[in-house]
């Protein structure tokens, strides 16, 4: 496996990219996942949101952010005043990574490795080229490290409008915030604050577009 580069199609529109991603074997994740989960949303979206990796529900349906994290994200977008219709949603890594539960058929999400993030990055760059959003929002450390560098720390820089290194697709501006799953996983007493911080970061995006 040498990364996704070899699988990129000549045509760079979203439909061609999505189609080609289904045949990607750029890392070993395609083997156990059900299908590639490509990004979704309009080709002229003004905001691109980048998550980590599809979850169980996304793997089954083929659509990004349709599980519990997606529900929380939809609410946070609405509260921040970002119209879902101007948003393209995708992930840093396109195939579900999981470990089987010790008993039963449940599959437990696993964070993608750095080499898997690197292998899958050509798809993310191609999405940025095709969509050309005004702002790309990294949801959590995996997306932030994919686009802003492996030394990037979300906790130190969240909520700031940052220059996107390399300007892929002519996109100049990035913002990092926490992953919606981190809000869901926060202990009950911290959850409300974590959610408020996520929506505050998204409001910075709403103002910038």
Instruction: For ligand SF4, give the closer residue by CB, 36 or 76.
Output: 36
Residue whose structure tokens are 């289904």: 22
Is 165 in a helix, a strand, or coil?
Answer: coil
- Cβ pair 183, 195 in contact under 8 A: yes
Instruction: For ligand SF4, give the closer residue by CB, 17 or 162.
Output: 17
Stretches 21-29, 152-160, 170-178, 182-190: which one binds ligand SF4 (CB under 6 A)?
21-29
Give the Å distances, CA to CA, from 62 to 33, 34, 94, 126, 177. Answer: 10, 8, 10, 19, 24
CB of residue 168 vs ligand SF4: minimum separation in angstroms?
17
| Pattern 72-101, ligand SF4, x by CB under 6 A | ---------------------xxx------
Q: Which residues, 6+ apart, have CB-to-CB distance to 16 below 8 Å?
A: 9, 10
- Distance, first Cα to last Cα, the chain: 38
Q: Taking CB within 5 to 8 Å according to partner kind, which of ligand SF4, ligand URA, none is near residue 24?
A: ligand SF4
Q: Taking CB within 5 to 8 Å according to partner kind, which of ligand SF4, ligand URA, none is near residue 119?
A: ligand SF4
Q: Which residues, 6+ apart, have CB-to-CB distance to 116 below 8 Å?
A: 27, 29, 93, 97
Q: How many residues bind ligand SF4 (CB under 6 A)?
A: 16
Residue whose Cβ sits closest to ligand URA: 51
**What is the spatial distance between Cα 127 and Cα 74, in angstroms, rounded to a whole number?**
21
Instruction: For ligand URA, give the closer residue by CB, 82 or 146.
Output: 146
- What is the contact surface with ligand SF4 in residues (CB under 6 A)? 4, 21, 24-27, 29-30, 36, 93-95, 116, 119-120, 123
């Amino acid at each position: 496996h040498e990364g996704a580069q070899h699988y990129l199609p000549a045509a760079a529109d979203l439909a061609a990219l999505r189609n080609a991603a289904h045949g990607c074997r750029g890392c070993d994740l395609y083997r156990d996942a059900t299908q590639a989960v490509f990004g979704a949303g309009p080709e002229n979206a003004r905001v691109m949101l980048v998550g980590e990796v599809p979850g169980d529900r996304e793997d089954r349906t083929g659509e990004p952010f349709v599980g519990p994290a997606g529900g929380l994200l939809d609410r946070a977008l609405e509260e921040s005043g970002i119209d879902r219709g101007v948003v393209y949603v995708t992930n840093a890594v396109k195939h579900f990574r999981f470990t089987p539960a010790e008993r039963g058929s449940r599959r437990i999400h696993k964070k993608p490795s750095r080499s898997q993030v690197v292998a899958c990055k050509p798809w993310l760059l191609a999405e940025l080229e095709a969509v050309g959003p005004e702002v790309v929002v990294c949801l959590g450390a995996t997306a932030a490290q994919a686009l802003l560098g492996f030394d990037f720390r979300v906790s130190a820089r969240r909520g700031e409008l940052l220059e996107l290194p390399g300007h892929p697709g002519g996109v100049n501006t990035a913002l990092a915030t926490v992953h919606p799953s981190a809000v869901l996983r926060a202990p009950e007493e911290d959850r409300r604050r974590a959610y408020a911080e996520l929506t505050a970061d998204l409001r910075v995006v709403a103002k910038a577009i």
